[in-house]
Structure 1
């Protein structure tokens, strides 16, 4: 089997084509958002929102509504509850996040255990990328388009908020509104990625691409290009590997992204552990040669 056959054989199956499209779309929108999450330090917030949507998905199934509606509602509820606990008590933000997301996630697990279903609701937790339907594909594409459009339209304001919220406030921008906007997009993006990798692994797609790009460049504009490129490539490679080695597709996508991050962590020219040392040695040798 030559390389062309390896690339084209999976595309003979409609479910593989849908899986690839959903994975790439999810990877791109998650990666773009992850650039801001990494800069602001909202990794735990991404984990919280992605887990908190679980009861919304189960309840949406019970009443026959689209999964995305229930997930989005509970994502926004989680954000509101975290803000409420943080602002009306002595509990700090990280504790508020932990309390809200673990409670809502446990609520979702209880609902799954008591809900009679002909559908395997465990797919919500671990993902069912190969079982994505045409309607799911359209839903993911629309939600991703909305999330990506908001991020791109407000990218300058959000970037200023990420780097210097005090300056943003001084020039007339509202850090609270920008924070709420970013959290709303986070909830929407979690719903998109839910179709691809499930609740448990959504946080990986929301953090790993941005963290990888952060080690490769010092410019935020380049991060917005590198992160989705790395994420979408990792999604495609992960799905192809899962096809040929018969592994779970969602976890394999995340594992691929994790391996890419490990390589960048070690060998990135400026910020990699080994790459930084090699670069330093070459500089010393160059300076000695010039002397």
Structure 2
């Protein structure tokens, strides 16, 4: 049913752009979401995502393109958080919380000061995938390519960092640089996902596919690949439901993802019960 709905919907250009945006966002959800989950930095990713709203306000206040400006702001916020947590999370939580709230507050204030501001706030909070312009699609593609190249180049180092940071440091791996790079990529990635499901729901799409893949993949690369596929499936089914039932697209996508995670948990529970009885 969903396939037929999508075929009908794709006769419209805005739906084709929405599909492209969803698939491109799925790539970063799979690749960067995996790094976020295995490195246990979901809290940091959430902070970067909410601070990114400052970039939205700055873009409208200065009259700059929203996506490039927000990416730059988010990468800078990620850098600040990387610096604060370079030696551990123990004493950085208050700073991260302040940056989390401060970024959102700055964005709201800048929008208040923007003359003639008439942008729908809900589109940034809950996503506006059906209104993504073609120019943003090309930038999302460029960001995808850049992130994939960086992750492939540093793949072995990221693998060592993800599973034993202290061991990685003793092997001469640039742990601090990779920490900064990872959070910079998180900053760029969350902006792409915000276009799909919004600021409020961004962490769900960034982490749910990777959480499902965590127990099923045998390698970091396999986890990234499976996460990407799952995110793409969630986006396509959610888009189809949003189009057919006139739902908010971001909420529809995340609802599908949550159902997928619940079904996966139920399947694993049933499978383990069967093994115990055997």
Normalised by the length of structure 1, the TM-score is 0.87
Q: Indicate the residue corresponding to 1:187 in structure 2.
A: 187
Give 1:85 shift.
4.9
CA contact (8 A) 1:238 1:254 kept: yes
| Unaligned stretches of 5+ residues in structure 2 | none
CA contact (8 A) 2:33 2:206 kept: yes
Give 1:103 shift.
1.8
Is structure 2 residue 123 aligned with structure 1 residue 123? yes
Normalised by the length of structure 2, the TM-score is 0.91
Is structure 2 residue 59 aligned with structure 1 residue 63? no
Is structure 2 residue 229 aligned with structure 1 residue 229? yes
Q: How does 1:215-254 map to 2 (within 5 A)?
A: 215-254=215-254
Q: What RMSD, in angstroms, separates the aligned Cα atoms of the two structures?
A: 2.3
The 1:155–1:208 alpha-carbon spacing in structure 2 relative to 1, beyond 3 Å, is same
Tell me, in whole angstroms, the C-alpha distance in 2 between the residues paired with 1:73 and 1:195. 15
The 1:85–1:162 alpha-carbon spacing in structure 2 relative to 1, beyond 3 Å, is closer
Q: Indicate the residue corresponding to 1:11 in structure 2.
A: 10
Q: How does 1:1-291 map to 2 (within 5 A)?
A: 5-83=4-82, 85=84, 92-115=91-114, 116-268=116-268, 273-282=269-278
| Unaligned stretches of 5+ residues in structure 1 | 283-291
The 1:234–1:5 alpha-carbon spacing in structure 2 relative to 1, beyond 3 Å, is closer
Moved more, 21-30 or 2-11: 2-11
Report the number of matched residues: 277
Moved more, 66-75 or 28-37: 66-75
Tell me, in whole angstroms, the C-alpha distance in 2 between the residues paired with 1:106 and 1:117. 16
Give 1:46 shift.
0.8
The 1:209–1:175 alpha-carbon spacing in structure 2 relative to 1, beyond 3 Å, is same
Give 1:142 shift.
1.3
Tell me, in whole angstroms, the C-alpha distance in 2 between the residues paired with 1:168 and 1:178. 11
The 1:82–1:121 alpha-carbon spacing in structure 2 relative to 1, beyond 3 Å, is same
The 1:186–1:5 alpha-carbon spacing in structure 2 relative to 1, beyond 3 Å, is closer
CA contact (8 A) 2:29 2:227 kept: no
Tell me, in whole angstroms, the C-alpha distance in 2 between the residues paired with 1:187 and 1:4. 33
CA contact (8 A) 2:27 2:228 kept: yes
- Relative contact order (C-alpha < 8 Å, sep 6+): which is higher? 2
Computing the radius of gyration from Cα coordinates, the structure with the larger value is 1
Moved more, 25-34 or 239-248: 25-34
Give 1:148 shift.
2.2
Tell me, in whole angstroms, the C-alpha distance in 1 between the residues paired with 2:86 and 2:156. 27
Give 1:218 shift.
4.5
Tell me, in whole angstroms, the C-alpha distance in 2 between the residues paired with 1:87 and 1:217. 29
Consecutive aligned runs of 4 or more in structure 1 exceeding 6 Å deviation: none
Listed one character per residue, the Cα deviations across residues 37-83 of structure 1 (whole Å, up to 9, x for unaligned) are 11110001110111111111221122222212321232233234335
**2:199 aligns to what SS in structure 1?**
helix
Tell me, in whole angstroms, the C-alpha distance in 2 between the residues paired with 1:67 and 1:157. 33
The 1:224–1:84 alpha-carbon spacing in structure 2 relative to 1, beyond 3 Å, is closer
The 1:3–1:223 alpha-carbon spacing in structure 2 relative to 1, beyond 3 Å, is closer
The 1:219–1:206 alpha-carbon spacing in structure 2 relative to 1, beyond 3 Å, is same
